[in-house]
């Protein structure tokens, strides 16, 4: 948060778009981040190991190339004592900051659309 404030205070016209380049991860990237094998991660995904209910992919880059939200994956991993709770929390913080930055950018670009979407979302909550 302080880095975002510092960039804004610098007055150089820079805009913080994200605090992490991407929240979407492949199975191989999940394995790399948790220092486990890709095979073990695949077993978590397919419920062959672990408690099951691994988060579903957010999207597919190509046929057979699913991408997961690191925030959801790290939450699952932390809940199941595979990574430290603070690592799951850090991913949640990064995702929240990135989502807020994107929401502010969308608000600046098209406030009417944002207002309309917010009304629909709030009505369903």
Q: What is the mean pLDDT of the chain?
A: 91
Contacts of 70 (CB under 8 A, 6+ apart): 23, 24, 25, 30, 33, 91, 95
Task: Please determine, for residue 106, whether its predicted confidence score (pLDDT) is greater than 80.
Answer: yes
Domain boundaries of the chain, sorted by first residue: 18-124
Q: Which of 94, 116, 97 is nearest to 107 (CA)?
A: 116
Higher pLDDT: 4 or 72? It is 72
What is the spatial order of strands in the sheet that 59-62 belongs to?
Answer: 24-25, 65-69, 59-62
What is the per-residue pLDDT for 107? 92
What digits encode the pLDDT tens for the residues 22-77? Answer: 789 999 999 999 999 999 999 999 999 999 999 999 999 888 899 999 999 999 99
What pLDDT score does 64 carry? Answer: 87
pTM: 0.76
């Amino acid at each position: 948060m302080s880095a975002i404030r510092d960039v804004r205070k610098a007055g150089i016209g820079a805009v913080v778009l994200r605090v992490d380049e991407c929240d979407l991860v492949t199975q191989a990237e999940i394995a790399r981040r948790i220092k486990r094998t890709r095979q073990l991660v695949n077993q978590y995904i397919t419920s062959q190991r672990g408690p099951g209910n691994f988060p579903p992919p957010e999207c597919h880059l190509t046929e057979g190339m699913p991408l997961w939200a690191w925030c959801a994956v790290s939450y699952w991993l932390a809940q199941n004592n595979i990574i430290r709770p603070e690592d799951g929390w850090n991913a949640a913080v990064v995702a929240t900051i990135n989502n807020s930055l994107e929401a502010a950018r969308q608000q600046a670009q098209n406030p009417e659309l944002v207002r309309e979407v917010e009304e629909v979302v709030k009505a369903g909550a």
